[in-house]
Amino acid sequence: MPEPTNTALPAAVIAEAQRCLNCKNPRCRQGCPISTPIPDVIRMALNGQEDEAGRILFENNPLTTVCAKVCDHERQCEGHCILGKKGKPVRFSQIEDAISSAYSRRMTRGPAQPNGMHAAIIGAGPAGLTIAVQLARRGFGVTIFERRAQIGGVLRYGIPDFRLPREVIDDFAYRHLVLKDIRVRPNTSIGAGGALGIDDLLADGYDAIFVGTGVWQPRRLNVPGETQGHVHYAIHYLASPAAYDLGRCVVVVGAGNAAMDVCRTALRAGTDSVTCLARGLAASASKKELSAALAEGMQLRCGVRVTRIGRKDVEVIGVDGEGRDLPGSEDSLPADSVIIAVSQGPRSLIVSTTQGLEVNERGLLVTDGCGRTTRPGIFAGGDVVAGARTVVEAVAASKRVAGAMEAYMRERAAQRAEK
């Protein structure tokens, strides 16, 4: 890793860092899916070792500048902070953002010494990018195949710019891909509908392949009216919101973080009214994202199930805490557009054209605990294995997979050398 020159942290960040109790048993680290050494990072920053703190953040998590902005901190590190039991937890998100952003802007080191082995990464989302960086740091040649025009996956095409500025993703691409000589083939689909398949990659000598294609197939409501022209899916809308004319009154079905992103995006685009429908008795989104959406004008209605989508309305019925319909609670809500945000699943483009890959009943790739699929040499991780999860969970899983891929490729190289 590079060793940039120290720069002073903002006073507000230092004040927040000084609130850390430096616990002997850091619950904050236990709450982090990738076990970020939070007390160590804070202590180094306060001791003037900001560069060392930044180096540790990036070595532990290549996507630290991203996670600082989009992690569900209130349920992870900050949610486990002992100070939060009776008051306000230490805002590590603010500290991580300041340290990692400043450090990233000064990273200039080039590629590691090549070891002669090469890996193919299918998908440039959080999982694929993490694998690519981890392997490149260890001297492996890496080529990323991405079906879209730019890298990022859900980071670029599923999270709005006001939550994750595009320059953060672009900076990652320059610091970690361009400077590390990681090659990217954009607009390249692997599998059904594409010019290339996994067998083509193996035939061209890649020592291992990682599949990190994410989950881009929207889940349906399976209610009458879902095929109408004013009905859309969140995963499509968030990818290119400017392409949609939603009208004045929008109903969003689903109440997770993606639904909050949809609501806020629609309101910022000029929609007069946005109503979010939650089947549960409370929204499943984080408090931070829910509060932001409510503050911008979203209306929330909980405990309802959509029964039919009309041409100008959405018909619903109330449900109890067990999800059972409540007779007599039927209602109708006006809607110029309806956006469905009830999760998504994987596409079968690779599985349908590749022998030996097993999937489960949800269509997700079957792997062991280290990303090994049912076909030797092919690994998988991220949402295409675990379903829709958070960015940091994808990073955590991919770090384990990178180790397994390295071991596999080195073992194969040793076997070839013995022949």
pLDDT (tens digit, 9 = 90+) per residue, 179-212?
889 999 999 999 877 789 999 999 999 999 999 9
| Per-residue model confidence (pLDDT) at position 348 | 64
Q: Mean pLDDT throughout 401-411?
A: 96
- pLDDT tens, residue by residue, 223-262: 999 999 999 999 999 999 999 999 999 999 999 999 999 9
Q: Residue 7: its pLDDT value, please?
A: 53
* Residue 403 in this model has a pLDDT that exceeds 70: yes
Distance CA(10)–CA(95), nearest Å, equals: 10
Matching fold, domains 11-104 and 220-342: no
Q: How far apart are CA 300 and CA 295, in angstroms?
A: 11
The DSSP output letter for 176 is: I
Structurally, at CATH architecture level, domain 220-342 sits in 3-Layer(bba) Sandwich (3.50)
CA atoms of 66 and 166, how far apart (whole Å): 10
Structure tokens at 412: 């194969």
Q: Is the dihedral of CA 174, 176, 177, 180 positive or negative?
A: positive
Distance CA 273, CA 283 (A): 18
Report the half-sphere exposure of 377 (CA within 13 A, side-chain side). Answer: 17
Q: Tell me how far apart the alpha carbons of residues 391 and 277 are, in angstroms, rounded to a whole number.
A: 25
- Quick: pLDDT tens for 346-368: 776 687 678 888 888 888 889 99
Distances (CA, A) of 94 to 40, 47, 206, 397: 16, 18, 40, 24
Percent of the chain with pLDDT over 90: 81
The domains of the chain are located at 11-104, 118-216+345-418, 220-342
pLDDT of 74 higher than 50: yes
- Does residue 220 have a pLDDT over 70? yes
Distance CA 93, CA 392 (A): 13
Q: How many residues does the chain have?
A: 419
**What is d(CA 82, CA 90) in angstroms, rounded to the nearest whole number?**
9
**Is 158 within 8 Å of 180 (Cβ atoms)?**
no
CATH for 118-216+345-418?
3.50.50.60
The pLDDT confidence band at residue 2, using thresholds 50, 70 and 90, is very low
What is the DSSP pairing of strand 331-334 with strand 313-318? Answer: antiparallel
What is the C-alpha separation between 84 and 65, in angstroms, rounded? Answer: 24
CATH number of the 11-104 domain: 1.10.1060.10
* Mean pLDDT, rounded, for 143-163: 95
